[in-house]
Amino acid sequence: MFKKILDKSVKIYVFILYIVYILVYIISPVNGHSGCDETILRRSIMAVFYRKLPRFEYLIPKTLEEALTVLKNQKESAKVFAGGTDLIPQMKRREIPVPRCVIDLKGISKLDAISFDEDSGLKIGSLVTINALAESPVIRQHFPSLFQAASSIGSPQVRNRGTFAGNICTAVPSADSAPALLTLEATITVKGLNGERVVPIDQFFTGPRMTVLKPDEILVEISVPTPARSSRGVYLKLSPRHSMDLAIVGVAVNGVSEKGICKDVKIALGAVAPTPIRAPMAEEMLKGQRITPELIDEAARNAITQCSPIDDHRASQEYRCDMIYAMTRRALNQVFAQ
Ligand SMILES: Cc1cc2nc3c(=O)[nH]c(=O)nc-3n(C[C@H](O)[C@H](O)[C@H](O)COP(=O)(O)OP(=O)(O)OC[C@H]3O[C@@H](n4cnc5c(N)ncnc54)[C@H](O)[C@@H]3O)c2cc1C
């Protein structure tokens, strides 16, 4: 008797879930509006099994000019596609208005180069994958914080497809590439049909998932000046698992010291504010001063005051504040260790 009632209620529960799922799917936007050329019935059946990609036109231009022309003509209904590791999940989950056309940059040559010389610094093309950066001997030798940031992103699969530039363009507060690039004072070159502009990385992010990029512009290159010979850099990421998880807190430090005195220091933090940020007050406390454990402790505590972390399923605000302090102190100790 009891088993019968239980069976029946499970069936009713599953049926209600099924109806709710179908309703949510039907009213969710497809191609930027509800309704499309597929039958509602077919879509509803598909929805039970998976969230399939909506329809869009896929273009693979051969030149930057071609890509920029399409972007200009399509206005906001086109999206640039690099590795797709962020864009495709967003489209599947209907987190963004579905673009009418997706422009794959991978048909354009010369965007996947990494180059470095002491005078002009490091240049990272917009199609350089995260893995290419993590495996580059130049990056490992001259830009350890970038190496650590790249190595900490996602999984081998994500790093093989995802680009470093794409990571910046997503502008999520936890983007691992951002803190290291902030401490290295990188600049971002963006192109539109009307010309090119260079944006310092600390002016690139304007809010969560928002940047200064206009809808008809493409990021073509990230430039990083050669760090001072005696500088040291580090990126530390706190995440629940060693890989696959986004940062709860990310801290990058780049510093120069001489005979125990801090000559220069840059501190940047990720996942603790609406955008990745620098901690200028903490930097000022250290500059020109003799490095002591007490001073490092004070600066690390000060870094908390420049953050506005959120409370979410990944970590509480209080825990994030404690970790900003702990991780900043650890990063400063590593950079200024004798
Ligand atoms: C399982 C998984 C784990 C992940 N783990 C991490 C992690 O640990 N840390 C982390 O920071 N991220 C993580 N990510 C997020 C993602 O992989 C990265 O942000 C990646 O670097 C995005 O690069 P992409 O080339 O795939 O960008 P895409 O998905 O192609 O594009 C992302 C966005 O940037 C725009 N865009 C890309 N390139 C350009 C360009 N050149 N010019 C203009 N706009 C452009 C696109 O239009 C889109 O809006 C993870 C993702 C997945 C799926």
Can you give the CATH number for the domain in which 94 is found? 3.30.43.10
Task: Answer yes or no: do 130 and 217 share one domain.
Answer: yes
C-alpha of residue 165 to centroid of ligand 1, in Å: 8
Each residue's pLDDT tens digit in the chain (338 positions)? 667 776 778 778 877 877 776 666 666 544 433 334 445 555 555 555 557 888 999 999 999 999 999 999 987 799 999 999 999 999 988 889 889 999 999 999 999 999 999 999 999 999 999 999 999 999 999 999 999 999 999 999 999 999 999 999 999 999 999 999 999 999 999 999 999 999 999 999 999 999 999 999 999 999 999 999 999 999 999 988 777 788 999 999 999 999 999 999 999 999 999 999 999 999 999 999 999 999 999 999 999 998 998 888 888 999 999 999 999 999 999 999 97
Nearest CA to ligand 1 atom 46: 80
Task: Answer yes or no: do 315 and 245 share one domain.
Answer: yes
Nearest CA to ligand 1 atom 47: 80
Long-range Cβ pairs for the range 295-304 (8 Å, 24+): 296/329, 296/332, 296/333, 296/336, 297/329, 299/267, 299/328, 299/332, 300/324, 300/325, 300/326, 300/328, 300/329, 300/332, 301/325, 303/267, 303/269, 303/279, 303/328
pLDDT of residue 68: 97
Residue after which a domain boundary falls, among 179, 197, 224 = 224
Q: Which amino acid is at 58?
A: Y
Task: Answer yes or no: do 238 and 307 share one domain.
Answer: yes
Q: Which of 64, 80, 127, 211 to mutate to test the pocket of ligand 1 (most atoms within 8 A of CB)?
A: 80
C-alpha of residue 298 to centroid of ligand 1, in Å: 35
Task: Answer yes or no: do 139 and 220 share one domain.
Answer: yes
Task: Answer yes or no: do 187 and 277 share one domain.
Answer: no
Q: Which of 100, 111, 167 to mutate to test the pocket of ligand 1 (most atoms within 8 A of CB)?
A: 167
Nearest CA to ligand 1 atom 37: 166
* Location of structure tokens 């794959």: 104
Nearest CA to ligand 1 atom 38: 166
Which atom of ligand 1 is the closest one to the Cα of 90? 29
Task: Answer yes or no: do 145 and 220 share one domain.
Answer: yes
Task: Answer yes or no: do 118 and 101 share one domain.
Answer: no
Which atom of ligand 1 is the closest one to the Cα of 169? 34
Task: Answer yes or no: do 177 and 260 share one domain.
Answer: no
Can you give the CATH number for the domain in which 140 is found? 3.30.465.10
The residues lining ligand 1, judged by C-beta closer than 6 Å to any ligand atom, are: 79-87, 89, 105, 126, 130, 153-154, 158, 161-163, 165-167, 169-170, 175-176, 213, 218-219, 244, 246
Task: Answer yes or no: do 94 and 120 share one domain.
Answer: no
Nearest CA to ligand 1 atom 17: 85
Nearest CA to ligand 1 atom 40: 219
* Location of structure tokens 């990609």: 53
pLDDT of residue 36: 40
C-alpha of residue 121 to centroid of ligand 1, in Å: 24
Nearest CA to ligand 1 atom 19: 167
How many structural domains are present in the chain? 4
Task: Answer yes or no: do 102 and 118 share one domain.
Answer: no
C-alpha of residue 85 to centroid of ligand 1, in Å: 5
Which atom of ligand 1 is the closest one to the Cα of 88? 29
Can you give the CATH number for the domain in which 284 is found? 3.30.390.50
Structure tokens at 109: 């040559």
C-alpha of residue 102 to centroid of ligand 1, in Å: 15
Q: Which of 60, 77, 79, 85 to mutate to test the pocket of ligand 1 (most atoms within 8 A of CB)?
A: 85
C-alpha of residue 138 to centroid of ligand 1, in Å: 23
- Domain of residue 74: give its range: 57-107
Three-point CA angle 268, 250, 263, nearest 5°: 35
Tell me how crowded residue 203 is: count the other CB atoms within 10 A of its CB: 11
Residue after which a domain boundary falls, among 224, 249, 278 = 224
pLDDT of residue 293: 97
Task: Answer yes or no: do 129 and 75 share one domain.
Answer: no
User: What is the rounded distance in angstroms from the CA atom of residue 203 to the CA atom of residue 188?
Assistant: 10
Nearest CA to ligand 1 atom 6: 154
Task: Answer yes or no: do 241 and 309 share one domain.
Answer: yes
Residues 6+ apart with CB under 8 A from 179: 145, 149, 235, 250, 251, 252, 268, 269, 270, 276
User: What is the rounded distance in angstroms from the CA atom of residue 265 to the CA atom of residue 286?
Assistant: 7
User: What is the rounded distance in angstroms from the CA atom of residue 67 to the CA atom of residue 216?
Assistant: 9
